[in-house]
Amino acid sequence: MRIERTMARVSVSGGLWQKLIAVQIYGANTGVGKTVFSTLLGAHFGARSSPTKWTVRYIKPVSTGPADEADDDYVRRYSGSPVSTLFKFNDAVSPHVAARGASHVPSDDHLNQELAKCLQQGAGSLPLEQADMGLAIVETAGGVLSPGPSGTPQADIFRALRLPAVLVGDHRLGGIAATISAAESLAIRGYDIDAVVCFENQSRYENAVYLKQYFEERSISTFDIPWIPDLDGLIPGTREEEAVMRQYYDARSREKHVSEVARCIIDRHATRMGNLESMASRTKQAIWHPFTQHKHVTNAEDVLVFDSAYGDYFQVKETSSSKHSDSALFPALDGSASWWTQGYGHGNPQLSLAAAYAAGRYGHVMFAGAIHQPALELAETMLKRLDNPRLNKVFYTDNGSTATEVGIKMALRAACKHYDWDGSNEEVGVLGLKASYHGDTIGAMDASEPCVFNEKVDWYRGRGFWFDYPTYKMVKGRWVVEPPEGMEEDLGPVKHFDSQDEIFNLDARSPSLRYETYIVQTLDKLVKERGAKFGALIMEPIVLGAGGMIFVDPLFQQSLLRVVRRYDFGPAQGAKSTLKGNEDAWSGIPVVFDEVFTGLYRLGRFSSGSFLGVHPDISVHAKLLTGGLLPLSITTASDSIFQAFWGDEKSEALLHGHSYTAHAVGCQVANVSLEIAKKMQKSEEWSTFRKQWEMRHRVHVKDGCTGGREEKGLWSMWSQDFVIEVSKHRRVAHVNALGSVLAVSLVDSAGCGYNSSASVGLRDALLKLTSEDQIRIHSRILGNVIYLMASMTAKPTHLKAVEETFVSRLKEVL
């Protein structure tokens, strides 16, 4: 068996059209009457003529065996509608078995695209008269999760289209269970079920009665359908048999049972279309968006309406097209990885099932003084894989901002206790880097220097000092390390490097006398001259995200940490014993790494701190932790930090805790995500990405970093050739690419602030429809920086197509 390995260059549009209703008919099992129902439905719509004339088409994506061909004839004969079969296999077994004998087996993407194309053709060929509509009946094979030719369950193969489903229930003994389970499998995959239908065979099982009540309590319309005529005693294929069946279809397709189903399908379609239509304006009424100046949202159409999302794509309501035959939705690459969270694909059924399992096993259980399996497992996994001998305690919080606040509370308490400072009455600040950002709650904000984000926040008080630092980037095809303007004297002149690896070769570059001198002198001015007190060094390793995707020279961050650890921040008065005799104890002041954005493989490694070859005392993780599904975060700490809260009084403890601390659903999803990540690390895809960066040079960083024995050279999912090409564009100031992150800094006459028109122009162009075979990309900008972020499961061929689109748009627009 040879399954195609070609990957879709462009994802399909969601299966929704103004004038075409496409439904997929799923069976709760084989032999439940899918074909009979599909025929009834087709016959019914074919016979409707007023006020709407319906063009009915019947599509069978995969058929196996001669019996299926007979099915096609059957449907054609009795429904009077044309039948398209997309892929045929001769053997009368499941497609995945039948495909084995075939010379050519379509990939899941190919199959999905062929179905999409067929539906789109159907929509395009409809007459344009207002009242005319089309119905496409897509009949699946077997049960909901029966394998397609590749072996993937068919409900997963066709998920991107997310056609509304009609589920034909099982009327037999055991059929109640089979029908509900089938419906649950559809729900887990994000399908909407327009209707459940069940043949009423007058049996004593009464499945239809039960199912009607069960599903209607859950707001799913359910219908019983009159039973199929008894053909016993009639010879198959004879006129007598045909006459009986024809009478059945003619009569039943006009009766209330089938017309009610038809009405329901039409109504659901109308509701869905109407809802999509009104959502943007209702949103303007009811929603206050995050980080949004609503005065700038002038049109309701500025709001993107998401019908759904799958893999790396949103399905967005189309607003730029006027043709009724066009899909009402378009796929847009989730180019910001949904605000940097996305890791393993939208609608990932594994994560979906993991969430449901934990919800079913625990719901949420209170965490004070208690433990449950997913939380313990996640804590142990994180401590192990962070591979930092200092970290041995996990504190759970809800998101990056609250996790950072906990990190700051921990560090400050440890420092204040040690130096006997009264943090409540004297100002004890943090040390950090300029343009750092740690979240939106007041405590996290206070740990960042004044900037546009906190300018108008009344309770914001910047509490600390933030260093200047050199950055690194690719400029016109060359890697450079560059000091900020006017800082050459302190931080050295621009330096060129042969590769990104060379910049990260800290064994060779360290120690930096220049950096350390600058840091010490700055600290002396603050601490010795002005008497300032600092209780923590907090920084985002390598990349300052919200501050503008700034890539810091790792040597500077390492130097800062080295200096801080040996610097004397004040005479120690407190319980110094906790730090003595413990070589992993903090010294100077506690060091906090905010890996909320940069950790968990976002930069290609489990821990972004490991690039620096040093161990923080506290490390903060969120975003990718749940694979991009749910808020959950952790603050890990060393024992010497933990000891600072040890005491006889409850008030000495870390009195912090959210109601949903360590919620089981998030922890379970995180555990499954980390498992997937582990597999990806050794995947063919990642090895392809790595090779794109190895080929150019042979300079490897020596293994001076922890936690990364398998991760020697630096690499990105964005190819080096692409990065070089982009960097050479005349309107590109510089580029960075590491792990899944690509950041392109544009030259803008209006400056680098939030008014950059270059980045806005490129961002808007990337989302626009141009040619059919190009990808529409939803991206986010930070001032004059436009960035893209792939999921951890992105495919090399797919990203190649994204790169091509990006380059061509860049050239067109700027």
Instruction: Show contacts with a copy of itself in window 502-541 (CB under 8 A).
Output: 535
Stretch that binds a copy of itself, among 484-492, 506-514, 623-631, 767-775 (CB under 8 A): 623-631
- Residues 204-263 binding a copy of itself (CB under 8 A) are 204-206, 210, 218
Tell me, residue by residue from 104 to 143, as one string, x for binding to a copy of itself by CB under 8 A and - for no binding.
Answer: --------------------------------------xx
> What are the b/e assignments for 386-422, b being 16+ CB within 10 Å?
bbbebbebbbbbbbbbbbbbbbbbbbbbbbbbbbebe
Which of 2, 51, 128, 455 lies at the binding interface for a copy of itself (CB under 8 A)?
A: 455
Asked if 335 and 779 count as a contact pair (C-beta separation under 8 A), the reply is: yes
Output the smallest distance, CB 156 to a copy of itself, in A.
10
Neighbours of 306 (CB within 10 A): 17
The amino acid at 607: S
Asked if 144 and 332 count as a contact pair (C-beta separation under 8 A), the reply is: no
Choose between 227 and 306: whose C-beta lies nearer to a copy of itself: 306
Stretch that binds a copy of itself, among 55-63, 292-300, 563-571, 716-724 (CB under 8 A): 292-300
Choose between 552 and 625: whose C-beta lies nearer to a copy of itself: 625
Output the smallest distance, CB 774 to a copy of itself, in A.
22
- Residues 76-105 binding a copy of itself (CB under 8 A) are 91, 93-94, 96-97
Total binding residues toward a copy of itself, as defined by CB under 8 A:
172
Which of 43, 630, 735, 744 lies at the binding interface for a copy of itself (CB under 8 A)?
A: 630
Choose between 214 and 259: whose C-beta lies nearer to a copy of itself: 214
Output the smallest distance, CB 741 to a copy of itself, in A.
15
Q: Whose CA is closest to 632, among 366, 443, 375, 393?
A: 375
Stretch that binds a copy of itself, among 109-117, 237-245, 448-456, 744-752 (CB under 8 A): 448-456
Which of 19, 110, 409, 763 lies at the binding interface for a copy of itself (CB under 8 A)?
A: 409
Choose between 55 and 759: whose C-beta lies nearer to a copy of itself: 759
- By the rule CB under 8 A, 600 interacts with a copy of itself: no
Which of 233, 290, 486, 531 lies at the binding interface for a copy of itself (CB under 8 A)?
A: 290
Output the smallest distance, CB 622 to a copy of itself, in A.
7
Task: Dihedral sign for Cα 733, 737, 738, 739, please.
Answer: positive
- Record the tokens describing residue 308, joined without a space: 């759904």
Which of 25, 111, 428, 788 lies at the binding interface for a copy of itself (CB under 8 A)?
A: 428
Angle (deg, nearest 10), helices 684-694 and 796-813: 50
Which of 18, 29, 436, 471 lies at the binding interface for a copy of itself (CB under 8 A)?
A: 29
Stretch that binds a copy of itself, among 318-326, 443-451, 480-488, 558-566 (CB under 8 A): 443-451
Q: Residue 182 and residue 792: Cα distance in Å, rounded? A: 30
Q: Residue 213 and residue 523: Cα distance in Å, rounded? A: 72
Output the smallest distance, CB 730 to a copy of itself, in A.
28
What stretches of 162-241 adopt beta strand conformation (E)? 165-168, 193-200, 222-226
Pairing assessment for the beta strands 741-746 and 785-789 based on DSSP bridges: antiparallel
Q: Residue 748 and residue 783: Cα distance in Å, rounded? A: 10
Which of 3, 47, 188, 527 lies at the binding interface for a copy of itself (CB under 8 A)?
A: 188
Q: Phi-psi category of 581—alpha, beta or left, where left has phi over 0 and alpha has psi -120 to 50?
A: left
First to last CA, the chain: 47
Choose between 298 and 771: whose C-beta lies nearer to a copy of itself: 298
Choose between 127 and 174: whose C-beta lies nearer to a copy of itself: 174
- Residues 655-674 binding a copy of itself (CB under 8 A) are 655-661, 663, 665-666
Which residues have CB under 8 Å from 137's CB, separation 6+?
23, 25, 38, 41, 42, 56, 57, 58, 59, 81
**Three-class secondary structure of residue 439 per DSSP:** coil
Which residues have CB under 8 Å from 292's CB, separation 6+?
none
Query: What's CA 714's distance to the chain center, in Å?
Result: 23
**Radius of gyration over alpha carbons of the chain, in Å?**
31
**Three-class secondary structure of residue 41 per DSSP:** helix
Tell me, residue by residue from 156 to 175, as one string, x for binding to a copy of itself by CB under 8 A and - for no binding.
Answer: ------x----------xx-
- Residues 481-500 binding a copy of itself (CB under 8 A) are none
Write phi, then psi, for 163 (nearest 5 degrees): -65, 145
Which of 2, 580, 650, 709 lies at the binding interface for a copy of itself (CB under 8 A)?
A: 650
- Residues 364-403 binding a copy of itself (CB under 8 A) are 364-373, 375-376, 379-380, 383, 392-396, 398-402
